[in-house]
Chains A and B, each alone.
Chain A
Amino acid sequence: MTAKTLSKENFKKFAENLVKSERTIGVKAKETKYEFGNINNADEIVMDYDVTLRSPRTFFQPPKEKLFDFKLGANTEIKPNIEADPFVLLGIHSYDLKALNQMDIIWDENNADQHYKARRNAATVIALEPTQASEWSFWGSMDSSTVDKGYDLLLTDIGNKYYVEVGTEKGANLLSKYASAEDATNDDNTARDKVRSELPNLCKADRKVKCDTDGITASMKNSYNNAIWEKLAEKCYSCGSCNLVCPTCYCFDVKDTIELDLATGQRTRKWDGCLLEPFAKVAGDENFRENRADRFRHRILRKTVYVADKLNGELACVGCGRCSSTCLPDITDPVKILNELCS
């Protein structure tokens, strides 16, 4: 589609208009970190963040989500809860968008999940190519510094202005409604290409996965019985933090709650994690992944082999580095594991 540019000033106006008229979710500061949240005031928006605490999956698969309400009685009623309030997701980094694109496939394959799809369709995605990398980021090594689909608009900071790639009609309309953008010139195109080509270098030099992404799945398949799993998992808390911050983790638990009237209630789903001890337990206390090491390995293999299978071989780790930074015993960093296991 077409390409435009927005001066930083015009971007500010665009953001102000957006915030005034649309439910806008963007990045803002949270203590020493950043997080996605509702933006009520354009001044809150941070565009040069490194990474957010939680991934944007929060807005497509909330931590806790009502699936349906029910009412017991002679005529039991079940009322599915599909939430589809339109919103604009502003400033999602390329690697997170890559993850979102993967989730689009996962939630759609075989049985399409209406809850996810409704939210996904309600979203207008304004993606952003990163200008900062966290000390843990390694998206530069995971083919995730840029994306070529999934956005309505894609912004690249090219100095005093944003280069705006228009991905969809929806994006084009949004832009024309709220911004005064200019057509991108050849110079702009060149500037943007230059910024893009240097994106991977934003990640620190010691945050490189040394092997080729294509070879990872094969190497990981061979490492099932490697001693590394036992060695690292010895220090694992089974806390699931690595699961919960990951943009490509999507497992959930389902729970019923009944109100004190004992007649009405809801079924909800809640983020879950395969590192948690009860995850694969069944009645009678049989646990199909009883050892920490089994669970620990499962997550890494899911990212590199099992889910990758469902994605035509694309790795389900996008290199955001969230799991690495959140793991207190510092055992789960994909960079270290991949570099040790892949030749």
Chain B
Amino acid sequence: MSKPKIAFFDFAGCEGDQLTVVNLEEALLDVLEHVEIVSFREAMKEHSDDYDIAFIEGSCTRVADEARLKDIRKNAKIVVAIGACATSGGINALKNIRPLETVRKEVYGENWKDYDTYRARGIGEVIDVDYKVYGCPMTQSEFVKVVKSLLTGTQPDIPNYPMCVDCKQAGNVCVFEKGQTCVGPITRAGCDACCVTEGATCWGCRGLVNDPNVDAHKEVLEKYNLSVDELTKRMATYFTNELPKG
């Protein structure tokens, strides 16, 4: 069997997910035993449009990106969205919570119209996506897991339960016990709650778990003295495009 050809693409994002791939170090060489990378702008000059699997990082933030995305979809047998920006709009979607014109004028002043942009969205809103690797950035282990799934033709086992599970398994003190708040109880697990383990709180970068109990969490956050505005902002950091409207 010939090696599947893979390509990396990026849209609006910080390239942290592609860096995560580079950071695989020796494991990347192991991956290369099984796949052929035909396009990876961040790391190589060669490029080919003949690929089987496309890994796409970043959000779609302007009409012009849509055509490029559709081309990639046409060329690829399998499209994998990597990182929060691509799976849900990620941090980029924060700009969606304020009026677009205000946002554009704040940054580019009177020239704001010269710089094309629209509501930041995950690429799944533009093209069909076969797999999603969540996280900001995605974790190395989940990326490798998905690669192995692609190689073995199975569905990767991506958790569908809240971050609290990872946190309890890691033995963390709940941030609520420390007078802080987080959105872990409605966030999809799978990162070993790394941010909480490192002394921060869960910001929600892996997106909402399926069937999140958002109302219950709003109530809890209010109980912990978060103002409605703060609460909305906390939820907006990564959930803007995922939360039910209204």
Residues of A within 8 A of B (CB): 30-33, 35, 53-54, 58, 63-64, 234-241, 244-245, 255, 257-258, 260-262, 270-271, 273, 276-278, 292, 326, 328-329
Q: In the complex, how many angstroms separate the beta carbon of B236 from the nearest chain A beta carbon?
A: 19
A260:B33 contact, CB within 8 angstroms: yes
The answer for the CA separation of A239 and B186 in the assembled complex, in Å, is 8
Q: Give the complex CA separation of A126 and B169 in angstroms.
A: 24
CA distance A53 to B173 in the complex (A): 7
B-side interface residues, number (CB < 8 Å): 36
Known A-B contacts A235-B216, A260-B148, A277-B160; A31 and B168 likewise in contact (beta carbons under 8 Å): no
Question: What separation, in Å, do the CA atoms of A235 and B30 have in the docked complex?
Answer: 46
Q: CA A235 – CA B157 in complex, angstroms?
A: 27
Nearest opposing residue in chain A for B164, CB measure = A239
Closest to A260 in B: B30
B148 touches A239 (CB 8 A): no
* B12 at the binding interface (Cβ < 8 Å): no
**3 nearest interchain CB pairs?**
A239-B164, A244-B168, A260-B30
Contact across chains for A237 and B27 when beta carbons are under 8 A apart: no
Cross-chain contact A237 with B186 (CB below 8 angstroms): yes
Interface string of B177-208 (1 = CB under 8 A from A): 11000000110000000000000000000000
Q: Determine the residue in chain A with the shortest Cβ distance to B220.
A: A328
Q: Which residues on B are within 8 Å of A, measured CB to CB?
A: 27, 30-31, 33-34, 144-145, 148, 151-152, 157, 160-162, 164-165, 167-169, 171-174, 176-178, 185-186, 210-213, 216-217, 219-220
| Residues of B contacting A: mostly | helix
Contacts of A30 in B (CB 8 A): 171, 173
Partner of A238 from B30, B173, B213 at Cβ < 8 Å: B213
In the complex with contacts A54-B168, A237-B186, A278-B27 CB distance below 8 A = no
User: When the two chains form the complex, which single residue of A33, A236, A238 contacts B177, counting CB atoms closer than 8 Å?
Assistant: A33
B174 contacts across to A, CB distance below 8 A:
326, 328
B173 touches A276 (CB 8 A): no
Which of A245, A260, A261, A277 makes the CB contact (< 8 A) with B168?
Answer: A245
- CB <8 Å contact, A273 and B171: no
Contact between A31 and B216, CB atoms less than 8 A apart: no
Instruction: Name 13 extra pairs, CB < 8 A, besides A54-B171, A239-B164, A276-B161.
Output: A30-B171, A31-B178, A53-B171, A58-B171, A63-B169, A235-B216, A237-B162, A239-B165, A260-B27, A270-B169, A277-B211, A326-B174, A328-B185
